[in-house]
């Protein structure tokens, strides 16, 4: 199976631009541009922004009490992060550019950089969202959004095979393009390395792919979700209000790739990608029971499922807000273009490794038919959603300043799950009725320490909101472990 990863990049970018559509474990505040800048979501979000975070917030007293309906369109959030690449290389991966070819010494340096280092791409596009606050009957909300997520973390052996290919020390003999076979040893000239057609090792010395994979993890998801939610105040007295809520989402899968091993060290890898990726499955398509017909539309789904969210929150003295929720409880069944990866002994490799620092080239090398992986058609695969526990609190200081903290914790071990707990602290200030500034601190999740910041303009006493935010201001001043991100919203209205 040859996976055209440059098409993945094309369609991922298209989602960001709302030309095409693309968890998943996406950003923890989803496409809520009003939350991105402070990093804290659950004790702040209201109306349709609360869907997928904490549905109980849907019945909170509206910020603008004369406006009971909120709706929005085309809200976008995206970020790319790498622990291994410098900022310039990450920009080239995101926006395009010419990569310099790596020398053998630089390849060895990149192996060190990528070993156990994380790379993350998250894109979230909300097509439309709406919320109605009915008063005594609670709050209702609806959204349609697309989530695209990519994660990779490579073991030393996988990184070595990616960058050195058939010339890696794993292979004890090298077959040259003139037909000669020579031993693989240190000190081979670059001219000779350029002649290598294949690296080979004996079956007695070969390792299984699961052994080589080790703790490596690669995951890609593209899921569209149609969500509805309801929140209701269930208790109120002079000092205290208690709210409860629930959300339901119907999920349509356009793509899923998982590459990793389970707790027993066994291969746990599959792919299911819709025709929009334009993949050449070769002869494998003829025997795959889940292969979609050639006449299938580009956006024909390859999976579907359902998810649930439950949440509760309380408001004390209209100053302290506490929120607790469990999100993404459910599963998906992938039954279109499904391919599984079987374990096998790695005895040869016919490419000479990556020549540049392109993330897309890494994916192409992993999935090339002459590369490491061997895919086999399958009927279907069922996966759990990456469920999370969210807990947060916020305190309002006067009418202008709000501060809060939040923790997001994984409750299962799906490959597309958070790498580690996410902790955030942040707030916002409204110095004038028409402007809100936000800033925060984030550590964990699928990213390193970050400082988000954002700006929201408020027109007509809350009638129209326009905002921009970034998940990390540090990137503007440093080269290492960069995060390139942006969140936009220009069509958010209240009536």
Q: Which of 257, 282, 285, 290 is nearest to 271 (CA)?
A: 257
pLDDT value at 23 more than 70: no
Contacts of 421 (CB under 8 A, 6+ apart): 407, 408, 409, 410, 444, 445
Instruction: Please report the beta strands in 371-482, taking only residues with DSSP state E, as ranges in sequence order.
Output: 375-377, 381-384, 388-397, 401-410, 420-432, 435-445, 447-450, 453-459, 464-470
Give me the pLDDT at residue 8, please: 42
Give me the pLDDT at residue 14, please: 39
Structure confidence by residue, pLDDT tens digits, 173-191 = 999 999 999 999 988 898 9
CB neighbour burial string for 335-364, b if at least 16 within 10 angstroms, e if fewer: bbbbbbbeeeebeebbbbbbebbbbebbbb
Structure confidence by residue, pLDDT tens digits, 81-90 = 887 777 677 7
Q: What is the rounded CA–CA span in Å between residue 438 and residue 456?
A: 8
Which CATH entry fits the domain spanning 5-494: 3.30.1600, 2.40.160, 2.130.10, 2.60.40? 2.40.160
Give me the pLDDT at residue 132, please: 98
Give me the pLDDT at residue 12, please: 42
CB neighbour burial string for 441-477, b if at least 16 within 10 angstroms, e if fewer: bbebbbbbebbbbbbbebeeebeebebbbbbbebbee
Q: What is the rounded CA–CA span in Å between residue 11 and residue 13?
A: 5
Q: What does the domain layout of the chain look like in residue ranges?
A: 5-494
Structure confidence by residue, pLDDT tens digits, 290-316 = 999 989 999 999 999 999 999 999 999
**203 burial level (CB within 10 Å; 0-12, 13-18, 19+):** exposed
pLDDT value at 198 more than 50: yes
Share of the chain above pLDDT 70, in %: 88
pLDDT value at 9 more than 50: no
Q: Are 34 and 49 in contact (CB under 8 A)?
A: yes
Q: For the ranges 72-81, 267-276, 406-415, 470-479, which has the lowest average pLDDT?
A: 470-479
pLDDT value at 267 more than 50: yes
Q: Provide mean pLDDT across the span 326-353.
A: 92
Residue 475's φ and ψ, nearest 5 degrees, are: -55, -30
Give me the pLDDT at residue 94, please: 62
Tokens matching residue 444 = 């964990």
Tokens matching residue 289 = 């029971």
Residue 220's beta-bridge partner residues? 150, 257
């Amino acid at each position: 199976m040859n996976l055209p990863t440059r098409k993945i990049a094309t369609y991922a970018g298209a989602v960001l631009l709302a030309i095409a559509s693309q968890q998943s474990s996406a950003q923890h505040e989803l496409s809520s541009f009003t939350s991105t800048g402070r990093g804290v979501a659950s004790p702040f979000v209201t109306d349709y922004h609360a869907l997928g975070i904490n549905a109980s917030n849907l019945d909170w007293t509206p910020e603008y009490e004369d406006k009971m309906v909120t709706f929005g369109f085309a809200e976008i959030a995206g970020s790319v992060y790498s622990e291994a690449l410098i900022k310039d290389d990450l920009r080239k991966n995101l926006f395009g550019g010419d990569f310099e070819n790596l020398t053998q010494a630089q390849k060895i340096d990149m192996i060190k950089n990528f070993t156990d280092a994380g790379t993350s791409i998250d894109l979230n596009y909300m097509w439309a969202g709406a919320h109605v606050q009915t008063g005594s009957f609670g709050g209702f909300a609806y959204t349609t959004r697309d989530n695209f997520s990519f994660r990779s973390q490579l073991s030393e052996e996988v990184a070595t095979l990616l960058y050195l290919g058939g010339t890696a020390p794993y292979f004890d003999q090298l077959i040259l393009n003139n037909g000669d076979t020579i031993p693989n040893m240190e000190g081979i000239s670059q001219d000779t390395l350029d002649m290598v057609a294949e690296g080979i090792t004996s079956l007695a010395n070969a390792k299984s792919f699961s052994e080589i994979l080790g703790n490596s993890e690669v995951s890609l998801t593209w899921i569209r979700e149609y969500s509805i939610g309801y929140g209701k105040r269930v208790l109120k007295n002079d000092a205290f209000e208690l709210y409860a809520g629930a959300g339901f989402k119907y999920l349509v899968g356009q793509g899923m790739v998982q590459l990793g091993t389970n707790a027993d060290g066994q291969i746990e890898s599959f792919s299911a990608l819709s025709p929009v990726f334009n993949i050449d499955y070769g002869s494998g398509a003829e025997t795959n029971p889940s292969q979609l017909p050639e006449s299938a539309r580009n956006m024909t789904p390859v999976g579907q499922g359902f998810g649930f969210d439950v949440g509760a929150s309380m408001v004390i003295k209209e100053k302290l807000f506490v929120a607790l929720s469990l999100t993404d409880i459910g599963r998906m069944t992938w039954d279109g273009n499904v391919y599984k990866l079987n374990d096998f002994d790695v005895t040869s490799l016919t490419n000479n490794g990556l020549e540049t620092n392109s993330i897309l080239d890494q994916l192409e090398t992993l999935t090339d038919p002459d590369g490491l992986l061997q895919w086999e058609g399958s009927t279907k695969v069922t996966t759990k959603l990456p469920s999370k526990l969210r807990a947060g609190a916020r305190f309002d200081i006067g009418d202008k300043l709000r501060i809060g903290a939040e923790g997001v914790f994984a409750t299962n071990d799906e490959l597309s799950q958070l790498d580690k707990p996410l902790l955030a602290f942040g707030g916002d200030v409204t110095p004038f009725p028409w402007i809100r500034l936000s800033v925060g601190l984030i550590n964990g999740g699928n990213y390193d320490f970050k400082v988000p910041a954002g700006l929201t303009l408020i027109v007509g006493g809350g009638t129209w909101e326009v905002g921009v935010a970034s998940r990390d201001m540090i990137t503007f001043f440093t080269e290492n472990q960069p995060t390139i991100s942006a969140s936009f919203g220009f069509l958010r209205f209240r009536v």
